[in-house]
Amino acid sequence: MEPPLQQPVAVVTGGTGGIGSRICAALAQEGMRVLVGYSRSADAAKAVVAGLPGQGHSAVASPVTDSATLASLAEEIGARYGRCDVLVNCAGTTRFVPHGDLAGLDDALIDSILATNVRGPFAMVRALRPLLEKSTQRGGGVVVNVSSIAAVTAMGSNVMYCASKAALDNMTKSLARALAPRIRVLAVSPGLVDTGFILSMDQAWRDEQAARTPLRRLAAPDEVAAAVVVAIKNLTFTTGAIISVDGGRPLA
């Protein structure tokens, strides 16, 4: 374990969710100081922080659709920690709307999905870029966007969710080019993940989805978190890549 002031600092938006909380735990296990980002669930973020190994963690308000608040957050991180080495964009939103139900995908939902899933990650990168560029960790600063295979398969909770993840994958590549060589930008793209959101669905539907996946099961949140750790710690000569954690689902 590095001395506290030398430990990398990682910001995880959506840090209280089923995937985000496991990413926070994995990064803390790797010796990072983790800032658990939340929008409205301050108590849940504090609970995640309380369960992390190591010291120096905190819960931070990071509403990704509020650029002014994100600018203040960046100033706070700079003043308190003096560094930011990792940004994991895990905040996202969606709602099930059948793809054929165009009227059901109303303008308010479209705007919410695009603002959170596309503009939000960009706004986080824009706010934290100066700190990320100063990272002294091996491989430089790192941004990991949590995407979805819906970006490729065009199958997901609704049409606009799929479009938002396709945009996120494209933006990952554009930012990787624009921010090199000081910052690497990658995406981790899961298939269906066994989180509370999916566990709330009908069991027969979940079984059908698993059967359609070559590895015959859904992803575990810890497997997504492991991919994030690998992207940060091991793939130090990789940028602009989309890393699949989908059990081979697009092959089916």
Q: Residues with catalytic annotation?
A: 161
Phi/psi at 183 (nearest 5 deg)? -130, 130
Tokens of 131: 């700190």
Read off φ and ψ for residue 84, nearest 5 degrees: -150, 120
Half-sphere exposure of 23 (CA within 13 A, CB side): 33
Q: What is the DSSP letter of 17?
A: S
> What DSSP string describes 19-86?
THHHHHHHHHHTT-EEEEEESS-HHHHHHHHHTSSSS--EEEE--TT-HHHHHHHHHHHHHHTS---E
Report how far residue 126's alpha carbon sits from residue 69's, in angstroms, rounded to the nearest whole number.
12
Cα gap 173→187, rounded to integer Å: 9
Nearest CA among 151, 133, 150 for reference residue 142: 133
The pair of three-digit structure tokens given for residue 169, joined into one six-digit string? 């994958």
For 44, residues 6+ apart whose C-beta sits below 8 A from its C-beta are 16, 38
